[in-house]
Amino acid sequence: MKKRNKIIYWIATIWLALGMISTGIVQLLKMKEETGFIIKMGYPEYLLPFLGVCKILGVVAVLIPRFPLLKEWAYAGFFFMMSGALYSHIAMGDPINEIFPPLLLLILTVVSWYFRPADRKIIVASLSVN
């Protein structure tokens, strides 16, 4: 892996981890602003701790060595979670300052996934058909 790709991977991954951990903790603790925000969006309050735990576990999965299949699932979870958040903000007609955080986390998810080192990828064996 080129040094440039490794630097891009780690910068994107660290920022992704910080963003997911911070929002995960806020959701897990059901902070007043986040609770009001999720209710305004039309989602039930009981969804917050679930999202928070998923984000924190996803960060652990992405950062620990090995377990490439688990990493794929974590990246997929982040992708769908942030896509859903982005869609919800756009559907609600929210201003750009509320749309930007999930968009940034979505971009960081894709960049981190794309530039991940070979030892963090699933190795697919090719099938030979005779």
How far is the C-alpha of 27 from the C-alpha of 55, rounded, in Å?
A: 9
How far is the C-alpha of 101 from the C-alpha of 89, rounded, in Å?
A: 10
Token output for 45: 């309050």
How far is the C-alpha of 58 from the C-alpha of 18, rounded, in Å?
A: 12
Q: What is the pLDDT of residue 95?
A: 94
Q: What is the pLDDT of residue 120?
A: 83
Supply the range of the domain harboring residue 62. 3-120
Overall domain count for the chain: 1
Q: What is the pLDDT of residue 126?
A: 63
Task: Quickly state the pLDDT bin for 118 (edges 50, 70, 90).
Answer: confident
Whether residue 51 lies inside any domain: the answer is yes
- The pLDDT tens digits of the residues spanning 51-106 come to 999 999 999 999 998 899 999 999 999 999 999 999 999 999 999 999 999 999 99
Q: How much is the CA Rg of the chain, to the nearest whole Å? A: 17
Whether residue 129 lies inside any domain: the answer is no
Whether residue 95 lies inside any domain: the answer is yes
Task: Quickly state the pLDDT bin for 121 (edges 50, 70, 90).
Answer: confident
Task: Quickly state the pLDDT bin for 124 (edges 50, 70, 90).
Answer: confident
Residue 127 CA, distance from chain mean position? 32
pTM: 0.89
